[in-house]
Structure 1
Amino acid sequence: MAEIDIYAALKKFFGFTRFKGLQEEVVKSILNGSNTFVVMPTGGGKSLCYQLPALMQEGTAIVVSPLIALMKNQVDALRALSSEEGIAHVLNSSLNKTEVRKVKSDIENGITKLLYVAPESLIKEEYVNFLQIQKISFMAIDEAHCISEWGHDFRPEYRNLKSIIQRIGNDIPIIGLTATATPKVQEDILKNLNMQDANTFKASFNRPNLYYEIRPKTKNIDSDIIRFVKQNEGKSGIIYCLSRKRVEELAQTLQVNGIKAVPYHAGLDGKTRVKHQDMFLMEDVDVVVATIAFGMGIDKPDVRFVIHNDIPKSIESYYQETGRAGRDGGEGHCLAFYSYKDIEKLEKFMSGKPVAEQEIGHALLQEVVAFAETSMSRRKFILHYFGEEFDNETGEGGMMDDNMRHPKKKHEAKEDAKQLLEIVFKTNEQYKSKEIVNVLVGKVNALIKSHRTDSQEYFGSGAKHDAPYWMALLRQLLVAGYLKKDIETYGVIHLTDSGKKFIKSPISFMMTEDHSFKDANDDVIVGAKKGGDAADENLFKLLKAELKKVAHDLDLPPFVIFQEPSLEDMALKYPVTMEELSNVHGVGEGKAKKYGKSFLKLIQDYVEENDIIRPEDFVVKSTGSNSSLKLY
């Protein structure tokens, strides 16, 4: 297709006179009928890459997306481009028979250029049979990282897509699109969609207009947030919280302090959600306080700040959520509040899970710890995580974070770096970062003992520095490329060729010390103890009352049924099935079956009424990257 046609179509359909970044090459690849894989960060104009070729070609393009709200937004936007209402349709379970008939009729008559489908709808036999006999221009898989178990948002229904596509038509070009994919995930997507031959386009993950900042989370977090929002008066912002309860509380606190804010989460009825979203889009309010878990269909280009009340559970989540700021190219401020106690709480959630999942989950959380506590460039850290190198001196946005604006002093660490690399070599590259640090400071654990490393002359040879110092140095050696991490074995550290060379002939290595957040966190609200050791005091009180009642009915001493540590563990893990209850500290299968029924009922009701995020809701799928990119 002639180049002039592409530009004419771009102008005709979207009103743009030029393409952004890699868009033009991607559009040409799709128009040529090639399998195409696009990795493009939020705000890069990903959807235009498949919308334009679909509008230019004969037949209907099928777009698979898990985000119902965003599908609706895109269909509305596409309908606005054409006088023909049927130019784009959504096909999902909410449609009645008449509406489905209308969609089918528009496709048969060549009116519909884009059909948006949720993966679970696409697998329906009725739709597969119908689409088999239609002219399909191509199949676009949006949010393609959902197909990978190594991705931060794995969805099993995405795994069926390959066989469904083959049934609809073997020769249909496939377009995979994602905004957040580490090298490991990218490889997985190509394999799972059987499109290793795809033309691959990777835009830079750098968002030079975003400023990254981490602050310690203290008991004054409400005041800190209010102060920040008031300093940005009249600007649009999103504040993310983990729980709906916190969303409601914070939205109310902001309102009381004269800030126009609304809550937004899945627990609100549809009408209220739409109203609050519209108020934000129409700028009747400045701030939306929302749950991270809820996939918001908010595509507002002029969001000037994103605040994380709770640190996200993965770097991918952080990147995706902060990516909602500054989509118009203007500056966006990304502020996250960090407390190590939040991390500890999330780690406790994972006990009782399969060992492999615990290992991956721990690795994922440690990545977030590394990001929060590092004193190196946050941009460099994020881009390295996604497999992209960045130079702060020459790269765009190099000074756009707290660590670069307020740098910590550097010191020469050539000898320490050599010592650490030698320890990795001497211990046969079999330990993870934590064990390597333990070997240096002389701290014994079961694994070190089993390898008899504690009896070696080098054990404890780095005791002149503390563990946080060595951990900071190890992270910086990873980023510098002297070490790499094997994610398949949950983070075992290996030397790279550069690392081996460094041992033989060391060169200057300037190190910056990490931030220490632990001392500042004694007064942190999250998980604070109020008279007991239970994470959720209210639930703990209810469980105690239930225990008293059951004990009275059975004429048994309460401790015979469940002891306090068991109740405390229930108030931390929120078990809602027999199996989960039997994994609670001090319970076991027998007690769970014998006494557990009423306790489970109580916890189930409590979780539902208070909209609790349970450990089981905290599903860890992956650290999501290849071995060399992990930084802790």
Structure 2
Amino acid sequence: MQRDPLEVLRTVWGYPAFRGLQEEVIRHVLDGGDALVLMPTGGGKSLCYQVPALCLDGLTIVISPLIALMQDQVAALTQLGVRAAMLNSTLEFREAMRVERAMEQGELDLVYVAPERLKALGFLDLLARCRLALFAIDEAHCVSQWGHDFRPDYLELKLLHERFPDVPRLALTATADAPTRREIVERLDLGAGRVFVAGFDRPNIRYRVVPKLQPKAQLLGYLGREQAGRSGIVYCLSRRKVEETAAALEEAGFDALPYHAGLDKEVRAANQDRFLEEEGLVMVATIAFGMGIDKPDVRFVVHLDLPKSLEAYYQETGRAGRDGLPSEAFMLYGLDDVAKLKSLLARSEVQSERQRHVERQKLEALLGYCETTRCRRQVLLAYFGEELPEPCGNCDVCLEQPASFDGTELAQKALSAIYRTGQRFGAGHVIDVLRGESSERIERLGHDRLSVFGIGRDLAPHAWRSVLRQLAALGLIEVDVEGHGGIALAGGCRAVLRGERCVSLRRDPTPTRGSDRRKGIVRTSPLLAEDPAADALFQKLRRWRLETARMQGVPPYVIFHDTALMAMARARPASRHQLAGLPGVGAAKLERYGDALLELMREG
């Protein structure tokens, strides 16, 4: 007989009710249906298969792409008293055999495996000897060959339906536009299942994009003023930049670590463990880091370089604020970024013209997001087919509405300067010509005698960079597509030069020194302003959590999330019954930690 899912949620996880589409998805799965579930990061996707795993009679197999994700999930479930394990390359032979025996003997509720495991000798035969209840395919967008996280082994997951047609399958992801959804359904043979779309909005994340002028100084200023003492991720495009940025942060007094695929495997693992287990640490990384990381208290995600697409941007920024508390996505964006991405696209090994067209559209959508004068959240959600009726009030465009203006004349001057100088020089040279800045090189080339020399001296260099950047985003100029640093004219520019097409540009805010402090910044403790006594208790609970986690060798958030500790600090429960009524305090955690927590409350 099946257990009631709401009763499982309350007794195991300590939550009083399901959120959003969770209950509908769970009941569909319990009825034996297949499904594709799209929920934003932090929206509770894991519960959509973890709750059914405890309601159904049998074993749930969870396919997950990263070992770190498996470790996090298994550690968290074990804290809840759930019989969970994993099978991956980190296990010694004896431990792997123990897990496999437990699977056959019905001693486990959930087992996490990597997609490559399906090709391991005898694994499908092992599954055939188990009483199977459900297959959960996490990070299902990895099956998309056009996606930003494509993993070839995901293409083999169709085997599950062919070999075990009566076992329901649940595919889950936080990132998939309409074409990617169709591809997931097709490649996993989910045609007969339902598609649940819970929405992509992450209202607790503040989106912010600023012109890239002095990236190192801008990053140090941002972290020092607004994110000191908080955990966060800084993404860079290259391994070299990761190393240099991490070193610069360390030199400036921040606790920072590098992470990229070129580091020794043991170093990567150690750095990742430190990030998960410590508070206030900054991880500087390439996109090799982050997918599936469950750390809920990441307060900021910084992009020092443009991501490859809006899907990648959404996925990466979604690692902030998984606990629902205020967090920020901060991106620096410059002309060089446009050049790098267009150059990567030009050199890519994509053979199909259709796929090239799709990739160009993705790049145009990303650049459009960066240059928009609309609410960023509205633009981002619209890309995923979701409408936000009103501006969000929690992005830089909403908070500091940029002015747009008729930039046709400036565009004509810039295009003319690019043409007259031979369409082979970089932005700095073109801007010097426009501003009438003479130099030995300009005089040697005779560019000081051109008709365009000095026609833009009334505009500051950063303003001309903004014009060129926006012209690149509009597709009116090509930047560095051959890797030589030059700017050339592109399609549509003739209509602008002839005055047949108007160009609307956004006016970037004037860069300032030391005054980039925004309204509404949420400091380290959200309780501080409203209740100093509660905040002091919250900090005490955090210290207890850290000590407890270290003794057990698990990340602190596996013990309790910040949201649970905040609820305790506000409510100050005086009995086990009162403590049990707080969100995140299930039966197993109440039994394990109840006495220690109540003692802390009394001391507080």
TM-score of the aligned structures, taking structure 1 as reference length: 0.63
Tell me the residue number matched to 2:40. 41
Q: Distance in 2 between matches of 1:132 and 1:117?
A: 16
The equivalences for 1:353-368 within 5 A come to 353-354=349-350, 356=353, 358-368=356-366
Q: Distance in 1 between matches of 2:100 and 2:475?
A: 62
Tell me the residue number matched to 1:229. 223
Q: Distance in 2 between matches of 1:330 and 1:51?
A: 23
Tell me the residue number matched to 1:105. 101
Q: Distance in 2 between matches of 1:312 and 1:461?
A: 30
Q: Say whether 1:152 aligns with 2:148.
A: yes
Quickly say closer, same or farther: Cα 1:516–1:51, change in 2 above 3 A. same
The equivalences for 1:418-429 within 5 A come to none
Q: 1:298 Cα deviation (Å)?
A: 3.4
Tell me the residue number matched to 1:288. 283
Q: Distance in 2 between matches of 1:435 and 1:344?
A: 10
Which secondary structure does the structure 2 equivalent of 1:58 belong to? coil
Which secondary structure does the structure 2 equivalent of 1:334 belong to? strand
Tell me the residue number matched to 1:203. 198
Given residue 376 of structure 2, which amino acid in structure 1 is its aligned partner?
R
Q: Distance in 2 between matches of 1:233 and 1:71?
A: 30
Q: Say whether 1:320 aligns with 2:315.
A: yes
Gaps of 5+ in 2: 407-470, 477-487, 512-604
Task: Kindly indicate whether the alpha-carbon contact (under 8 Å) linking 1:373 and 1:515 is maintained by their aligned counterparts in 2.
Answer: no
Quickly say closer, same or farther: Cα 1:436–1:339, change in 2 above 3 A. closer
Deviates more, 1:275-284 or 1:243-252: 275-284
The equivalences for 1:68-217 within 5 A come to 68-82=67-81, 87-167=83-163, 169-217=164-212
Quickly say closer, same or farther: Cα 1:305–1:189, change in 2 above 3 A. same
Which secondary structure does the structure 1 equivalent of 2:346 belong to? coil
Quickly say closer, same or farther: Cα 1:111–1:362, change in 2 above 3 A. same
Q: Say whether 1:399 aligns with 2:432.
A: no
Quickly say closer, same or farther: Cα 1:436–1:276, change in 2 above 3 A. closer
Q: Distance in 1 between matches of 2:473 and 2:13?
A: 55
Q: Say whether 1:371 aligns with 2:406.
A: no
Quickly say closer, same or farther: Cα 1:359–1:410, change in 2 above 3 A. closer
Task: Kindly indicate whether the alpha-carbon contact (under 8 Å) linking 2:368 and 2:473 is maintained by their aligned counterparts in 1.
Answer: no
Quickly say closer, same or farther: Cα 1:212–1:99, change in 2 above 3 A. same
Gaps of 5+ in 1: 413-432, 439-443, 449-453, 470-512, 521-632
Quickly say closer, same or farther: Cα 1:93–1:302, change in 2 above 3 A. closer
Q: Distance in 2 between matches of 1:92 and 1:286?
A: 27
Given residue 315 of structure 1, which amino acid in structure 2 is its aligned partner?
L
Q: 1:148 Cα deviation (Å)?
A: 2.0
Q: Distance in 1 between matches of 2:316 and 2:368?
A: 18
The equivalences for 1:53-64 within 5 A come to 53-64=52-63
What whole-Å deviation, never above 9, does each CA across 1:69-122 have from its counterpart, x for those lacking one? 10121122222222x7xx222223444442332122101111111121111111
Q: Distance in 2 between matches of 1:133 and 1:12?
A: 31
Tell me the residue number matched to 1:261. 256
Q: Distance in 2 between matches of 1:143 and 1:434?
A: 33
Q: 1:368 Cα deviation (Å)?
A: 1.5
Task: Kindly indicate whether the alpha-carbon contact (under 8 Å) linking 2:290 and 2:316 is maintained by their aligned counterparts in 1.
Answer: no
Q: Distance in 2 between matches of 1:344 and 1:387?
A: 28
RMSD: 3.2
Q: Distance in 1 between matches of 2:218 and 2:403?
A: 27
Tell me the residue number matched to 1:408. 402
Q: Distance in 1 between matches of 2:84 and 2:135?
A: 14
TM-score of the aligned structures, taking structure 2 as reference length: 0.66
What whole-Å deviation, never above 9, does each CA across 1:562-604 have from its counterpart, x for those lacking one? xxxxxxxxxxxxxxxxxxxxxxxxxxxxxxxxxxxxxxxxxxx
Tell me the residue number matched to 1:329. 324
What whole-Å deviation, never above 9, does each CA across 1:112-157 have from its counterpart, x for those lacking one? 1112111111123401112123211011111111112233222222
Q: 1:465 Cα deviation (Å)?
A: 6.3
Which secondary structure does the structure 2 equivalent of 1:41 belong to? coil
Tell me the residue number matched to 2:459. none
The equivalences for 1:610-621 within 5 A come to none
Task: Kindly indicate whether the alpha-carbon contact (under 8 Å) linking 1:375 and 1:515 is maintained by their aligned counterparts in 2.
Answer: no
Task: Kindly indicate whether the alpha-carbon contact (under 8 Å) linking 1:139 and 1:174 is maintained by their aligned counterparts in 2.
Answer: yes
The equivalences for 1:486-565 within 5 A come to 513-514=505-506
Which secondary structure does the structure 1 equivalent of 2:122 belong to? helix
Q: 1:192 Cα deviation (Å)?
A: 1.9
Quickly say closer, same or farther: Cα 1:337–1:106, change in 2 above 3 A. same
Q: 1:273 Cα deviation (Å)?
A: 3.4
Task: Kindly indicate whether the alpha-carbon contact (under 8 Å) linking 2:367 and 2:473 is maintained by their aligned counterparts in 1.
Answer: no
Task: Kindly indicate whether the alpha-carbon contact (under 8 Å) linking 1:373 and 1:516 is maintained by their aligned counterparts in 2.
Answer: no
Which secondary structure does the structure 2 equivalent of 1:115 belong to? strand
Quickly say closer, same or farther: Cα 1:364–1:332, change in 2 above 3 A. same
Given residue 123 of structure 2, which amino acid in structure 1 is its aligned partner?
Y
Q: Distance in 1 between matches of 2:386 and 2:268?
A: 38
Q: Distance in 2 between matches of 1:464 and 1:209?
A: 44
Q: Distance in 2 between matches of 1:129 and 1:165?
A: 14
Task: Kindly indicate whether the alpha-carbon contact (under 8 Å) linking 1:277 and 1:298 is maintained by their aligned counterparts in 2.
Answer: no
Deviates more, 1:156-165 or 1:299-308: 156-165
Q: Say whether 1:387 aligns with 2:422.
A: no
Q: 1:297 Cα deviation (Å)?
A: 5.4
Q: Distance in 2 between matches of 1:435 and 1:381?
A: 15
Q: 1:516 Cα deviation (Å)?
A: 6.7
Quickly say closer, same or farther: Cα 1:515–1:381, change in 2 above 3 A. farther
Quickly say closer, same or farther: Cα 1:100–1:290, change in 2 above 3 A. same
Tell me the residue number matched to 1:342. 337
Quickly say closer, same or farther: Cα 1:391–1:465, change in 2 above 3 A. farther
Q: Distance in 1 between matches of 2:302 and 2:490?
A: 41
Task: Kindly indicate whether the alpha-carbon contact (under 8 Å) linking 2:161 and 2:189 is maintained by their aligned counterparts in 1.
Answer: no
Q: Distance in 2 between matches of 1:340 and 1:142?
A: 36
Tell me the residue number matched to 2:306. 311
Q: Distance in 1 between matches of 2:507 and 2:356?
A: 26
What whole-Å deviation, never above 9, does each CA across 1:470-490 have from its counterpart, x for those lacking one? xxxxxxxxxxxxxxxxxxxxx
Task: Kindly indicate whether the alpha-carbon contact (under 8 Å) linking 2:208 and 2:396 is maintained by their aligned counterparts in 1.
Answer: yes
Given residue 280 of structure 1, which amino acid in structure 2 is its aligned partner?
F
What whole-Å deviation, never above 9, does each CA across 1:540-560 have from its counterpart, x for those lacking one? xxxxxxxxxxxxxxxxxxxxx
Given residue 383 of structure 1, which amino acid in structure 2 is its aligned partner?
L
Task: Kindly indicate whether the alpha-carbon contact (under 8 Å) linking 2:233 and 2:298 is maintained by their aligned counterparts in 1.
Answer: yes
Q: 1:387 Cα deviation (Å)?
A: 0.6
Given residue 56 of structure 1, which amino acid in structure 2 is its aligned partner?
C
What whole-Å deviation, never above 9, does each CA across 1:491-538 have from its counterpart, x for those lacking one? xxxxxxxxxxxxxxxxxxxxxx44579x99xxxxxxxxxxxxxxxxxx
Given residue 119 of structure 2, which amino acid in structure 1 is its aligned partner?
I
Deviates more, 1:154-163 or 1:309-318: 154-163
Task: Kindly indicate whether the alpha-carbon contact (under 8 Å) linking 1:247 and 1:290 is maintained by their aligned counterparts in 2.
Answer: yes
Given residue 52 of structure 2, which amino acid in structure 1 is its aligned partner?
P
Q: Distance in 2 between matches of 1:22 and 1:47?
A: 12
Task: Kindly indicate whether the alpha-carbon contact (under 8 Å) linking 1:351 and 1:358 is maintained by their aligned counterparts in 2.
Answer: no
Q: 1:308 Cα deviation (Å)?
A: 0.5
Aligned residue pairs, count: 433
Quickly say closer, same or farther: Cα 1:139–1:228, change in 2 above 3 A. same
Tell me the residue number matched to 2:10. 11
What whole-Å deviation, never above 9, does each CA across 1:432-452 have from its counterpart, x for those lacking one? x999988xxxxx99999xxxx
Task: Kindly indicate whether the alpha-carbon contact (under 8 Å) linking 1:35 and 1:198 is maintained by their aligned counterparts in 2.
Answer: yes
Given residue 204 of structure 2, which amino acid in structure 1 is its aligned partner?
N
Tell me the residue number matched to 2:239. 244
